[in-house]
Structure 1
Amino acid sequence: MLKKVLSYLIPIKIHTEKSSLSKCIEVTWANGELVLDSENTNYSYGSLQRVLRYGLKTIGFDKIVKMEHILILGVAGGSVIKTLVDEIKFGGQITGVEIDPDIIKIANQYFKLDEIQQLEIIIDDAFEFVLKTKNKYDLIIIDVFQDTTMPNFLYESYFTNRVCYLLKSKGFVLFNTMLLNKEDNLRNEKYIANFCTVNHNIKSIPRIEVHNELIVIEKKM
């Protein structure tokens, strides 16, 4: 409790761990809440939870609570899962795909992810999982980062088309992107401009954090 109170004055790091995939993982008390960070950016809770919550609110909490199956590519500490379960009261199935088992170990220890009964965690590469899965989803959340880097496959048309194929009728994709420079902004503009399918709509959401832009894809039928 003391560390939580003191964290309103200064961040207090309580756990640091090296990971072969994520390099450095840190758990910190900051402004009265636990957050999960990589070496250079926020991975879960804190500002990232606010960004993804804003995206979910844009889609509509009332729509999400009626959904049956949600896929999350990139779990980290599971802050978006906590928003779905604790705030939105989503009662359906959640499948979380995370490539780094060390992060899931920390998420279970500090954020009690393993206590969420409707959640299935799969340790796998997001691209590989999307190719293999036979399921269809009402909502697919893409939140895949390696520190401050976004893997190139996220912007490839083959991956995008496959993700859209996995959507149920009137389903949504919520794609969280990081923009650190002019090139990143141009990358997103090109991605949206080149998106080509008559069965889906695409749009970006006005930013609430300078370096994060959310892109929403909606399946029409």
Structure 2
Amino acid sequence: MKWWKKWWSYLLPVHLESVGSELNEALDLYLIKNRLRLTTLDAIYSFDDKYYNFHKAFEHFELPPNGAHVLILGLGLGSIPFMLEKTFQKDYHYTGVDLDDAVLYLFAKYQQERLKSPLQIIETDATLFMQSQSNRYNLICIDVFIGEIVPSHVKTNAFIRQLKNALLPGGRILWNMLYDTNEQARAVDKFIEYQFRTIFPDYQILQVLGNVILTNRAWNDEATSNHSEK
């Protein structure tokens, strides 16, 4: 990327590229204060270390040691590996899964060279990947959206059990969901009550702005009750 774009991005957002795909009609990439922000018509997909929901979640528990294996379902433009590497100074092995070829094109063009951590990228649907893979991970991050919608096929009991089976002992799941409107909140509450809780009874919730992050167990060793944190 040219130096003047980085410099200018501290004054005004710099439009880098816009593309479309079968999954997203419009994907707009901007450079803002030297941070890559990827947006759709109605949602922010990635924003480097300013992707606050996961940033806050990472501050709420002891991160795995260096060398851990991290699975990202819904890689986007790679905000999760970016902030873990650059902000939290972690050296992990990543597997990133994303179905949108346009998103992966933008990742390869603008983000991949900024990362030093080993990253395997797989272009497929998250559920198909979980059905066929046999590896286990220290941390699994789920950030699967089409616009503002979490597809129903990634909210099944079978998928949640596959997530559980893919965790190493002591492993953690972080699942990002929108919680901004009454309709979104009701849908998430219903999902927790009838599905997520049945497989992860020790679940916890972290509310961040208009999102919630679900996790499979207490944020720290002392916490034992199911509650929301802000």
Q: Distance in 2 between matches of 1:150 and 1:117?
A: 28
2:176–2:213 Cα contact (<8 Å) kept = yes
Task: Indicate the SS of the match to 1:135.
Answer: coil
Structure 1 122/32 Cα, relative in aligned 2: closer, same or farther at 3 Å? Answer: closer
**Aligned residue for 1:201?**
202
Task: Indicate the SS of the match to 1:159.
Answer: helix
2:47–2:79 Cα contact (<8 Å) kept = yes
2:5–2:14 Cα contact (<8 Å) kept = yes
Summarize deviations over 1:44-91 as a string: whole Å, max 9, x none: 11686222111112122xx32346211000011001111122233332
Match of 1:15 among 14, 17, 20: 17
Q: Distance in 2 between matches of 1:48 and 1:188?
A: 24
**Aligned residue for 1:33?**
35
Summarize deviations over 1:78-114 as a string: whole Å, max 9, x none: 0111112223333232111111122111112112358
Q: Distance in 2 between matches of 1:127 and 1:188?
A: 19
Task: Indicate the SS of the match to 2:54.
Answer: helix
**Aligned residue for 2:178?**
178
What is the percentage of aligned positions where both structures have the same residue? 23
Question: Which stretches of structure 1, 4 residues or longer, exceed 4 Å deviation after superposition?
Answer: 1-10
Summarize deviations over 1:100-153 as a string: whole Å, max 9, x none: 122111112112358545110011100110111111111100000111111012
Task: Indicate the SS of the match to 2:85.
Answer: helix
Q: Distance in 2 between matches of 1:42 and 1:34?
A: 11
1:26–1:36 Cα contact (<8 Å) kept = yes
Moved more, 118-127 or 18-27: 18-27
Q: Does 1:216 align with 2:215?
A: yes
**Aligned residue for 2:65?**
65
Which structure shows the bigger proportion of residues in strand conformation? Answer: 1
Moved more, 34-43 or 133-142: 34-43
Letter in 1 for 2:94: I
Moved more, 165-174 or 47-56: 47-56
2:48–2:83 Cα contact (<8 Å) kept = no
Structure 1 142/2 Cα, relative in aligned 2: closer, same or farther at 3 Å? Answer: same
Summarize deviations over 1:26-53 as a string: whole Å, max 9, x none: 1112355221112221111168622211
Task: Indicate the SS of the match to 1:170.
Answer: strand
Q: Does 1:189 align with 2:202?
A: no
**Aligned residue for 2:226?**
none
Q: Distance in 2 between matches of 1:14 and 1:97?
A: 23
Q: Distance in 2 between matches of 1:38 and 1:45?
A: 12
Q: Does 1:104 align with 2:104?
A: yes
Displacement of 1:170 in angstroms is 1.0
Q: Does 1:118 align with 2:122?
A: no
Unaligned runs of 5+ in 2: 222-230
Instruction: Count matched residues.
Output: 215
Letter in 2 for 1:218: R
Displacement of 1:215 in angstroms is 0.8
Structure 1 123/113 Cα, relative in aligned 2: closer, same or farther at 3 Å? Answer: farther
Q: Distance in 2 between matches of 1:137 and 1:215?
A: 17
**Aligned residue for 2:156?**
156
Q: Distance in 2 between matches of 1:26 and 1:118?
A: 26
